[in-house]
């Protein structure tokens, strides 16, 4: 059974953000659809998560235009947590925008909102959550 285009998009983004490895986050710390909390004791982490999808639109007979939310969350800890998270999301955004087609899966990536949060969990903690809207098309009979 083939994966949905949405899941393939998340997987393509993971490849885009790890190959070659980014300077601000180790490839092992780039996590797709993580279940467990990030371990940022020894370095920043980047989460890739799919979000909600509004109803698909039938713009051509036999095809559906779809949009999925894609959320990148940069998490950094330590004395320079704010600047580290900022550097990470900036690099990840540039990397994502370098191939908006994601290898032919998407025909547009639009920017949505950004949320920033700071806290402490024994170390200073900074989180930047950036949401994108990835537009793609499937046949009516597939996701």
- Cα distances from 77 to residues 18, 50, 70, 73, 141, in angstroms, run 20, 24, 23, 13, 45
9 touches other proteins (CB under 8 A): no
77 touches other proteins (CB under 8 A): yes
Which of 71, 95, 124, 135 binds other proteins (CB under 8 A)? It is 124
Q: How far is the CB of 69 from other proteins (least distance, A)?
A: 17
**Whether 27 contacts 92, CB under 8 Å:** no
33 touches other proteins (CB under 8 A): no
Among 92, 73, 69, residue whose Cα is nearest residue 9: 69
38 touches other proteins (CB under 8 A): yes
Which uninterrupted H or E stretch holds 47? strand 45-50
- Which residues here bind other proteins, judged by CB under 8 A? 36-41, 45, 47, 73, 75, 77-78, 117, 119-125, 127
């Amino acid at each position: 059974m083939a994966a949905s285009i949405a899941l393939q998009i998340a997987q393509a983004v993971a490849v885009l953000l790890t190959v070659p490895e980014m300077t601000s986050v180790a490839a092992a710390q780039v996590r797709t659809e993580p279940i467990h909390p990030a371990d940022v004791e020894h370095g920043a982490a980047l989460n890739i998560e799919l979000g909600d999808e509004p109803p698909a639109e039938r713009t051509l007979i036999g095809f559906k235009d779809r949009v999925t939310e894609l959320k990148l969350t940069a998490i950094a800890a330590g004395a320079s947590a704010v600047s580290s998270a900022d550097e990470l999301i900036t690099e990840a955004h540039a990397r994502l925008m370098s191939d908006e087609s994601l290898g032919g899966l998407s025909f547009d990536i639009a920017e949505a909102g950004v949320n920033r949060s700071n806290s402490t969990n024994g170390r200073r903690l900074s989180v930047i959550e950036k949401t994108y809207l990835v537009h793609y098309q499937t046949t009516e009979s597939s996701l």
